[in-house]
C-alpha cells in the first residue's frame, strides 16, 4: 500500500486520539489507527505531555520513509528553558526534546510558533 498523507482537509479526529483518553488506551488506539492506514506519509500528535516519547516510538515504527511527524507544545510557553521549572509536564517535554535531538534516525526542527511545533522526519 502506498503511503497516505493526512492533510489539513482530512477529518483528523479519525486519526488523533482525544486528550482525555487514558494513556494506555491512547497507545492502543494509535496502533489500531496507524495499522489501518498502512505506512503513513504524515502524522500529527498532541498526546498527554508525559506520553510524547511513547507516542513517538509507536509512530516512527509506522512512518513511511521521509514521512513527517508534527508534535505540538514542545516549547511549553517557554517553560522548557526555565531551569527553575520542574513540574511533571515540563520535565517530560524536556526529555522528549532531548531524545528527539539525539535520535540519528530522524531529522528534526522546533518551529517557535505558539507553544512550539516540532517537525520530525525519517532520515
Question: Considering the domain boundaries, does residue 2 fall inside one?
Answer: no
pLDDT band at 110 (very low <50, low <70, confident <90, very high): very high
Question: Considering the domain boundaries, does residue 1 fall inside one?
Answer: no
> Any idea what the CATH number is for the domain that residue 42 is in?
3.40.50.150
| Poorest-pLDDT segment among 1-10, 30-39, 60-69 | 1-10
Question: Considering the domain boundaries, does residue 3 fall inside one?
Answer: no
Question: Considering the domain boundaries, does residue 86 fall inside one?
Answer: yes
pLDDT band at 5 (very low <50, low <70, confident <90, very high): very low
pLDDT band at 73 (very low <50, low <70, confident <90, very high): confident
What pTM, to 2 d.p., does this model score? 0.64
Question: Considering the domain boundaries, does residue 107 fall inside one?
Answer: yes
| Number of domains the chain contains | 1
Question: Considering the domain boundaries, does residue 7 fall inside one?
Answer: no
**Cβ-defined contacts of 72-78 (< 8 Å, 24+):** 72/44, 72/45, 72/46, 72/114, 72/115, 72/116, 72/117, 73/46, 73/49, 73/115, 73/116, 74/110, 74/115, 74/116, 74/117, 74/118, 75/110, 75/112, 75/115, 75/116, 76/49, 76/115, 76/116, 77/115
Residue range of the domain that includes 73 = 12-122
Question: Considering the domain boundaries, does residue 4 fall inside one?
Answer: no
Position 18 pLDDT exceeds 50: no
Position 21 pLDDT exceeds 80: no
Amino acid at each position: 500500500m502506498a503511503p497516505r498523507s493526512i492533510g489539513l482537509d482530512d477529518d483528523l479526529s479519525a486519526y488523533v486520539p482525544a486528550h482525555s483518553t487514558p494513556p494506555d488506551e491512547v497507545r492502543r488506539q494509535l496502533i489500531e489507527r496507524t495499522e489501518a492506514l498502512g505506512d503513513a506519509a504524515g502524522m500529527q500528535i498532541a498526546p498527554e505531555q508525559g506520553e510524547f516519547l511513547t507516542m513517538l516510538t509507536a509512530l516512527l515504527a509506522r512512518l513511511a520513509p521521509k514521512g513527517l511527524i508534527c508534535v505540538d507544545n514542545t516549547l511549553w510557553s517557554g517553560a522548557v528553558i526555565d531551569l527553575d521549572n520542574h513540574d511533571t509536564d515540563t520535565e517530560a517535554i524536556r526529555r522528549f526534546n532531548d531524545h528527539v535531538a539525539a535520535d540519528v534516525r530522524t531529522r528534526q526542527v522546533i518551529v517557535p510558533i505558539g507553544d512550539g511545533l516540532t517537525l520530525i522526519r525519517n532520515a
